[in-house]
Amino acid sequence: MRVIQPKGNRGSLKWLQLAVNETPHLLQPAGLPQIAWLSPLASDDYAEYRDGAFLERLGLAHLTAPLKEFWPQRGPQWDALGTIGSAPVLVEAKAHVREFLSPATQAGPESRAQIATAFGMVQADLGIAAPCDWTRIYYQYANRVAFLWWLRSQGIDAKLLFVSFLNDTEMNGPAAGETWDAMFAAANYALGLTGAKDLMRHVHHVMPDVMTIPEPVA
């Protein structure tokens, strides 16, 4: 599904659109080659992508059928997508802590069962002993990590990038990167991911200061 977005006027929607289109260097993780951005582009109605459309956008349409076996429809809607060569980069962006504290899945019984099965596959492969219920705790973060795992299990050199903005005072966002560090550390501990180093080394973080992102003159 291709989801056209309005031009953002606040929060992570605004700052990510501006960064991708005007200051992409602020989204570049240290140690990774240059990311080529595919969404959200001003020339593409700032569209975001999910389900088979995100795979098609990344040149991975051949994985559409396997994705349906792994995850139900209306899966993650990616805030941004990019590539490093042929390797996909999946992006989740946040401007304030409340965004990170997502509720449990709202999926219906059949979809919830498929999601729970998918999470179980991830947990088993990562060797997570006595895992908590990922459908209830840090659900959005958990499903982003699960999609990274799934793509890599398909032989795709995928990366997951969290963009955590600083100094968004309008949204009462964090001023210090340590606040975001603590949030991710808590999530990793709760989900049992602290020992999943082989997967988590493909998770990257940038923390752009919104004060360094020029806003267009009205």
Using 50, 70 and 90 to split pLDDT, how confident is the model at 129?
confident
Average pLDDT over residues 193-198: 96
Quick check: 58 and 83 in contact, CB under 8 A?
yes
Q: What percent of the chain has pLDDT over 70?
A: 99
Determine the residue type at 207: M
Using 50, 70 and 90 to split pLDDT, how confident is the model at 216?
confident
Supply the pLDDT for residue 163: 99
Average pLDDT over residues 143-156: 99
pTM of the entire structure? 0.96
Q: Given a cut of 70, is residue 217 above it in pLDDT?
A: no
Note the pLDDT tens digit of each residue in 8-40.
899 999 999 999 999 999 999 998 999 999 999
Note the pLDDT tens digit of each residue in 173-194.
999 999 999 999 999 999 999 9
Q: Given a cut of 80, is residue 121 above it in pLDDT?
A: yes
Burial of 4: CB neighbours in 10 Å, binned 0-12, 13-18, 19+: exposed
Supply the pLDDT for residue 218: 61
Note the pLDDT tens digit of each residue in 39-90.
999 999 999 999 999 999 999 999 999 999 999 999 999 999 999 999 999 9
Q: Given a cut of 90, is residue 215 above it in pLDDT?
A: no
Nearest residue to 147 via CA among 197, 97, 199: 199
